[in-house]
Amino acid sequence: MINPSQCNHDDSMPGANPFAMQEEGTVVEISTMAENTYRLRVKAPGIAGKITPGQFFMIRPSEGYDPLLGRPLALFDVYEEDGRKVGFDFGIVVVGKLTSLMANWAAGTKVELWGPLGNGFPLPECKHLMMIAGGIGQTPFLAVSREALGLCSYGNGERNLKTKPEKMTLCYGARNKKYLAGLDLFKMDGLDVEVATDDGSEGHHGFVTGLLEKSIIKGNKPDVVYCCGPEPMMKAVAKICLDENIPCLLSLETTMACGFGACFSCVTKVKEDDGGWDYRRTCVEGPVFEAEKLIL
Ligand SMILES: Cc1cc2nc3c(=O)[nH]c(=O)nc-3n(C[C@H](O)[C@H](O)[C@H](O)COP(=O)(O)OP(=O)(O)OC[C@H]3O[C@@H](n4cnc5c(N)ncnc54)[C@H](O)[C@@H]3O)c2cc1C
Ligand code: FES
C-alpha cells in the first residue's frame, strides 16, 4: 500500500531540496505536441540524473533579465545518451511571458535551471493506481508510469518499487481533442489511457472526473489516486476520493517566485494535527500533498 508520508519532506527541513543544484542547460529541440503545447528537450546532465517523477525545476533564459524570475515546470521525462541520463523533456503550454518565449527557443539556446525541487510522487505501492490529469497537468504522469512499469529508473537509484501495481490507468482530460498532448508517448503495455474532453470531440464527453466516477460505479475503484491539473478539477477529484475513502495525492500548480522556500509566494493551507491549519510552501513541502490534509 502507498505510504502517504513518503510524499512529504521531513517537516524539520527548513529549506529547499538538499540535492538541488543550479545548472546551465542547452536546448536540444522543441516540437509541437498539441494546440499551444510543446515538448522542449534540454540537455543538463547534472540534474537529469537526480530528478524523480513529480519533482520540478525553476527555469529561465541564461541571457538577459526579462523575465527575471524563473518559472516552475515539472519533469516530463529524462533522456539518455550512451546509457547515461543527460537531459530531460518538459511539456509546456503557452500561457504568458516565459512560456511564449520558450515556444520559440531554438536549439543551442542556453537556459538557467535550478532543481530538482519539491518532493514529487512516492512510488505507488498499490494494486490499482489511477492518475488523473487535467490539461498540461499530465506532465508528471509520463515518468510516474514509466517508473511504475519498470521501463525507466529515476533519481540516484534509491527508489525501488517492491511490487508493480496490477492495474494502472491514466484519465486525461482536455478542453477538446486539439489540446490532447503526447498521447502516443503514453502508449505502454500495462497502462490504460482514458480520455475525456469538455466538448466530447474525443473520448468521454464531459469533465475528467466523470471517468473516475464511472470507474467507481463499474466496481473498478482505484486504491490510490494521483492527480494534477487546474485547481477546480483537483478540488472535485479530492472530494470524490474523500467521499469514497480513496487515498489521493494532489500535485499543486501554485504560482511561484523563488522555488526554494525563501519568498512564501507559493503557500497553501494545510490541516494540522491539533485541528487547526497552517501555511505550507508548495515549492518545499509540496508540490505533492495528501488531498485530505489540504484546505482547498
Ligand atoms: C510545480 C509546478 C509544476 C508545473 N509544471 C508545468 C508543466 O510541466 N508545464 C506547464 O506548461 N506548466 C507547468 N506549471 C505552470 C507554469 O509554471 C506556469 O504556466 C508558468 O509559470 C507561466 O509562466 P509565463 O511566464 O508563461 O506566464 P506569466 O506571464 O508569468 O503569467 C501569465 C498568466 O498565467 C498565470 N499563471 C502563472 N502561473 C500560473 C499557474 N501556476 N497556474 C495558473 N495560472 C498561472 C498568471 O497569473 C498570468 O495571468 C507548473 C507549475 C508548478 C507550480
Ligand atoms: S516559491 Fe518562494 S517560497 Fe515557494
Ligand 2 neighbourhood includes 2 CB (under 6 angstroms): no
**Quick one: cell of 66?**
526579462
| Candidate from 1-10, 83-92, 155-164, 249-258 with smallest mean pLDDT | 1-10
The predicted-structure confidence for 174-207, as pLDDT tens digits, reads as follows 999 999 999 999 999 999 999 999 999 999 999 9
Task: Give the C-alpha separation, 196 to 210, whole Å.
Answer: 8
Residue 212: enclosing H or E segment and its boundaries? helix 209-217
Task: Give the C-alpha separation, 190 to 146, whole Å.
Answer: 10
| Largest CA-CA distance found in the chain, in angstroms, rounded | 55
* Burial class (CB within 10 angstroms; exposed 0-12, middle 13-18, buried 19+) of 16: buried
Predicted confidence at residue 235, as pLDDT, reads 97
- Full set of structural domains in the chain with CATH: 4-9+120-293 (3.40.50.80), 21-117 (2.40.30.10)
Atom index in ligand 2 nearest the CA of residue 263 equals 2
- pLDDT confidence of 51, banded at 50, 70, 90? very high
- pLDDT confidence of 15, banded at 50, 70, 90? low
Q: How many residues appear in the chain? A: 296
Ligand 1 neighbourhood includes 97 CB (under 6 angstroms): yes
Predicted confidence at residue 65, as pLDDT, reads 87
Predicted confidence at residue 156, as pLDDT, reads 84
pLDDT above 70 as % of the chain: 95
8-19 average pLDDT score: 51
To test the pocket of ligand 2, the residue of 9, 60, 266 to mutate (highest count of ligand atoms within 8 Å of its CB) is 266
Q: What are phi and psi of 120, to 5 degrees?
A: 80, 180
Ligand 1 center–CA 196 separation, angstroms: 23
